[in-house]
Amino acid sequence: MKALLLALIVLTTMVQTSFAQTVTVMSWNIRLNTPRDGVNAWPNRKDWLARIVADNQTDIAGFQEVLAGQLEDLKERLTHMDAYGVGRDDGKAAGEFSPIFYRRDRFELQEKSTFWLSSTPDEVGSKGWDAALPRIASWVKLKDRQSGKQFYVLNTHFDHRGVQARAESAALIVKYVRAKFADHPVILTGDFNTTPDSEPYRTITGAGIEGRSVFRDTYANSAQKPEGPDSTWNGFTAIVPGQRIDFVFTTESVKTLRTRILDDQKEGRFPSDHLPVVAELRLGAE
């Protein structure tokens, strides 16, 4: 009887530890707030969008194209989450944010910062290479209150026009992660404005650079077959096949259990012009 009780205790501990190390991460370009979107403008989508985040039991979310007012709207609706982000134009509140939301009951914030995707990454508001706009990567270091594990989350939005800017941005992020975050698991979310057959994707996943790979694409490395469409772009009209431009990447010490691209629709409408990517991850799985 004692042996059986001990076995049950050990099994329960293993299950609890496994659960504690499982993290649901979302990446979603929510589309900036602009009246020209008409029926699809932010005021008509914000409640629905926040509900999707909550209904999918999201632990961590990297959002893109977030203006200051939208950031406050999300905070008001995702009250169980804290957030970090800065405006890309001034490092404060001007321009789009790439904020990271995380469950405050689950994670403890230990560090946070932002760098610009340019040849002068510490220069606030700097625009890199042939980019049309300033671009940023915001990051946080989190500690899981349940497991004690520490890890980093980066969130970014690559330029929509600059071919060189996207390639250089990918190389910059890989270099930054190797230099600063090598001792911990890293999760990278974002709208990369590029598909898996591109140079930036190959750089991020290690296929286009010398040495060992840094990141894995959760969609391509999911233990379960990925769910949903093979695209994350709909333009508020229809899902365009083969346009998978939004990603959740992880370093090698993170195992991807399941990946989904959500295609929620309501009366022919979408909650954003992009579809969210949701990955269920296990830290320190290798």
Instruction: Specify the number of domains making up the chain.
Output: 1
Q: Is residue 3 part of a domain?
A: no
Burial 157-175 (b: 16+ CB within 10 A, else e): bbbeebeebbbbbbbbbbe
Residue 90 sits in a domain of what CATH number?
3.60.10.10
Q: Could you tell me the residue range of the domain that residue 182 belongs to?
A: 22-283
Residue numbers of the chain with a pLDDT score lower than 50: 3-19, 286
Q: Is residue 9 part of a domain?
A: no
Query: What is the chain's mean pLDDT, rounded?
Result: 92
Residue 2 has what pLDDT?
Answer: 52
Residue 6 has what pLDDT?
Answer: 44
Tens digits of residue pLDDT in 174-195: 999 999 998 899 999 999 999 9
Contacts of 2 (CB under 8 A, 6+ apart): none
